[in-house]
Amino acid sequence: MNWNTVHEFRDWWLKAGRPLRPPFEQPIFITDLVHSLCLYREGKFQVELYIIGPNKTSPSHAHPGVDSSFIFLAGDLEFGDKTGSFIDLSDKQKPQPNGAHMLLGQTIDALDGEMHSVRAFQNGGAFLSFEYWKDKEPDSVVLNWVGAPDGAIHAKILDK
């Protein structure tokens, strides 16, 4: 496939029927904050699904050399911007008529390793992370991390 940007990859994956092809090597990462699964990886592009436990917040962090585009899936999740401020989405914590979350499908980017963060309240949260690894082969943005780790388990993973 000839994607040039993370957005081209994201749009292709959605239109192609959300192919599920986790890699054999390193598909799953567990930290104090999240459980993640790489749903699809091809060359320097991949999409990971993140589930965040209830009442958890990540420190502000960056993924150098990675263009990221996130899609909201579920829960009471908020993303923090490069200044460390969280976007208040409390008025959007309600269902659509079809039962899905009002925010389902909404996107936010962190391009070129921009700082960002994420937090979830009592319902936990889930999102898709589409990634273009410009400088090296992908593993997980949980490993390619600049900033304080999200806890002791994450710190151990980063130390390896």
Partner 1 sequence: MYNNVEQFRDWWLKAGRPFRPPFKNAIHTTDIAYALCLYREGRYQVEMYICKPNTQSPMHKHPGVESVSMYLAGHLEFAKDNGEFADLSAYQKPQANGAHMLLGKGVEVNDGTKDHALRIGSTGGAFLIFEHWKDKDPVSVTTHWEGELVGQEHAKTIQASQ
What is the distance, to the nearest Å, from the Cα of residue 127 to the centroid of all Cα atoms in its chain? 6
Stretch that binds partner 1, among 61-69, 95-103, 109-117, 131-139 (CB under 8 A): 95-103
Q: Site residues for partner 1, window 119-138 (CB under 8 A)? A: 123-126, 128
The residue within the footprint of partner 1, chosen from 27, 59, 65, 151 (CB under 8 A), is: 27
User: Judged by CB, which is closer to partner 1: 40, or 145?
Assistant: 40
Which of 54, 85, 107, 146 touches partner 1 (CB under 8 A)? 54
Nearer to partner 1, 112 or 124 (CB): 124
Q: Are strands 66-80 and 117-133 parallel, antiparallel or unpaired?
A: antiparallel
* 99 touches partner 1 (CB under 8 A): yes
Paired tokens of 130: 């589409």
Q: What spatial distance separates the first Cα and last Cα of the chain, rounded to whole Å?
A: 33
Residues 6 or more apart whose CB falls under 8 angstroms from that of 75 comprise: 52, 101, 120, 123, 124, 125, 126
Distance, CA of 11 to CA of 115 (rounded, Å) = 23
Contact residues toward partner 1 (CB under 8 A) are 17-30, 34-38, 41, 49, 51, 53-54, 73-75, 94-96, 98-102, 104, 123-126, 128
